[in-house]
Amino acid sequence: MIKPNSLESNQIANIDSEKFDYVVIGSGAGGGPLACNLALEGFRVLLLEAGGDDEPCDYKVPAFHARASENEALRWDYFVRHYDDKTQQERDCKFSEEKDGVLYPRSGTLGGCTAHNAMVLMYPHNSDWDYIAKLMNDPSWHSKNMHKYFQRLERCEYVSRWKIWSRHGFEGWLPTNQANPWMLWRDKVLTKLTVAAVTESRRMMHPLKRFFLGILKFIIRFDPNDWRLIRRIPEGLCKIPMTTQHGKRVGSREYIQRVREQCPDKLVIRTHSLVQRILLDEHNKAYGVEYRVGAHQYRADPRHKEAVVSETKTVCVEREVIIAAGAFNTPQLLMLSGIGLREELEKHEIEVKVELPGVGKNLQDRYEVGVVTRLKENIPLIKGMKLRPPEPGEEPDPQYALWLQEKGPYTTNGATVALIKRSSSKQWDDDPDLLIFGLLGNFSGYYPGYAHDITRDNSRYPNALCHKNDDRSDTCQENIFTWAILKAHANNKGHVTLRSSDPRDVPDISFNYFPKDSDGSDGEKDLDSVVEGVETVRNILEYCGDLVDEEILPGANVSSRDEIRQFIKDQAWGHHASCTCKMGPQSDKMAVVDSRFRVHGTTNLRIVDASIFPKIPGFFIVSAIYMISEKASEIIIEDARVNAS
């Protein structure tokens, strides 16, 4: 039997002699900024990252974010199930029989998933925070208080400082920008597509609301992070803010690097360090962690077969252990440490230290689908684009040459315009739940090789949706455009469970798409909302009918509402996994952490990542994770001062 809290003789020999106040596990949007903030406050922090510290060109160039998610130096490949039902799951052409799942890209590198995400930073809905405040009876989580954390982290570079009513942050560590609108307006094809989206956005709103929101949006230039819009729960067109600076990606990694240079004696970073368990004493007080040293130890790493025999080390802490390993790995680590559902732990012969049945449960995500079109005209903006860095000695493509000057489409994430919509299942004062945005290229979800296929027209293949394209022609297809539909606040609840007690094994992950309650309502409502998203895109396509040659996906043969529903059930995907160690009062047996991020039934152990949300927030989750990282920093520093007094 594994004894999570007994140190064998070889482990005792490898106890780290260095002293740390805090150990933070994971360097993504939750753990990276938290470690930095604690170090800047004067605490000695050890930041453990299972991946490396590579910075390939795919990382730097915003338009290459899909390539970054498939770059071997950065990626971890999870294969997940959307359905437990085998027949339904196999209808998804992205499903791999060999892997028994659908690719779910994660990042195993310094900066976590901020190293490969699309850099979108959209403020969460105020109701996300108000729900937590009410659930936890903790007013510090109220939206009026939470906004200060966004201001604290943001360094807004696309709004003038004198526009104080926007309530942007201008002194934070995370730069935000928007794409230069003149790139879009100089392109006649993209202009037509945008005008069509504007027409649809005006059609779907009440005339009075359309009038007042139109005035407000003109004043604030379609900024979804402007407090005046956030408060009014807006619908309609918006420009997407991105975490970029000087045309390059910015995320947790850059903050970590800066603080490491500024405070080298306070922030210690150890990469290629896979934590395999939290060390708890007989009172369930966390006093350290045990980790493996070596590259490619985790089996989601595509190079895991290259891993050599690793050394196991133990490090002890003076104050706390903070887990920020993400929605998949945080519950896995808790279970490996003896915290979780008793039956699950005993099945793998793990000693039960704290019985918390909610660990790994409540897995939530958004639903996404793509409507892919072929246009009659090429998009001038992407002429000659290769969407890759030049090979040694090769002349760069025109857009890459512009990127070197901090200009052009490679400085963006490829999203041209976005439309926020409230589906008909929502009340007039509910949050909008659909985000529809235009993307350059062909995007229909994640599967091995998808990043290459983004630049290709696969419609000539029998299985056009996700054909593993062997065409290695060098330039992009210049007339393919995708409308991606994102459904927020979905109702699916899946699970993360152990495959084995080996910390190198990837857990079993199932999302339970479109579930049915006793009345079958929640999953059906989600499905109907996504159908509305597809119908909205088709309305947009009608407004620019002279520009569209063909709808490749779902395609003209998918026309009735039932056919659209089946297409969505078969082909939907997501990439914002969350909620697997949910926050809740101690009276809730499925809750894992309290409102101060402390793991129930333990001391000196906290979680600060996407897993702690009771419900998935907003449209793009990274902003909410950055915000809780700032809040957790404040709480932990406050607690340290109280304990020191």
Range list of β-strands (E), 567-621: 605-607
Cα 241 to Cα 145, 377, 418, 419, 528: the distances in Å are 22, 28, 11, 13, 28
Let me know how long the chain is.
Answer: 645
Q: Scanning the structure block, which residue is given the tokens 């739940």?
A: 433
Backbone angles phi, psi at 350, to 5 degrees: -105, 130
Tell whether 308 is in a known binding site. Answer: no
Q: Which of 266, 242, 243 lies closest to 37 in space, CA to CA?
A: 266
Is residue 203 within 8 Å of 235, Cβ to Cβ? no
Is residue 102 within 8 Å of 446, Cβ to Cβ? yes
Is residue 574 within 8 Å of 290, Cβ to Cβ? no
Q: Which of 208, 319, 216 lies closest to 604 in space, CA to CA?
A: 319
Q: Which of 40, 72, 74 lies closest to 55 in space, CA to CA?
A: 74
Tell whether 117 is in a known binding site. Answer: yes
Helix, strand or coil for residue 600?
coil
Cα 91 to Cα 80, 95, 177, 557, 569: the distances in Å are 14, 8, 40, 17, 9
Cα 537 to Cα 258, 465, 540, 556: the distances in Å are 43, 18, 5, 13
Q: Structure tokens of 631?
A: 């809040």
CA distance 387 to 117: 16
Tell whether 289 is in a known binding site. Answer: no
CA distance 234 to 217: 9
Q: Structure tokens of 410?
A: 């490679």
Tell whether 120 is in a known binding site. Answer: yes
Query: DSSP letters of 418-442?
Result: EEEE--TTS-TTSPP-EEEEEEES-
CB atoms inside a 10 Å sphere around CB 3: 10
Range list of β-strands (E), 52-92: 75-80
Tell whether 492 is in a known binding site. Answer: no
Q: Structure tokens of 490?
A: 């979905």
CA distance 540 to 249: 31
Q: Which of 273, 310, 316, 314 lies closest to 290 in space, CA to CA?
A: 314
Q: Structure tokens of 150?
A: 């966004």
The annotated binding site is made up of: 117-120, 275
The annotated binding site for FAD is made up of: 117-120, 275
